[in-house]
Amino acid sequence: MGGKGAMNKMKGKAKQKAGKAMGDERLKGEGRADEAKGRAQGAMGDARENLQGMKDSLKGKGRS
């Protein structure tokens, strides 16, 4: 996973740690949400890459 997904995941983990250290439940919640968003973005990126790979494979088979 790269790009926005990885950034949101890291940002979420940092917010969770900061929230825990400061006793701020709202910040911890924001961190969990950011981390979940990052995981979802990563999954969408992986799905797009897999779809593109399938398309490329099918194109290659048609030329044989």
* pLDDT band at residue 63 under the 50/70/90 scheme: low
Q: Encode pLDDT of 12-55 as tens digits.
A: 999 999 999 999 999 999 999 999 999 999 999 999 999 998 98
pTM: 0.71
* pLDDT band at residue 60 under the 50/70/90 scheme: confident
With a CB cutoff of 8 Å and minimum separation 6, the contacts of 42 are: 1, 5, 6, 9
pLDDT recorded at residue 59: 86
pLDDT recorded at residue 62: 54
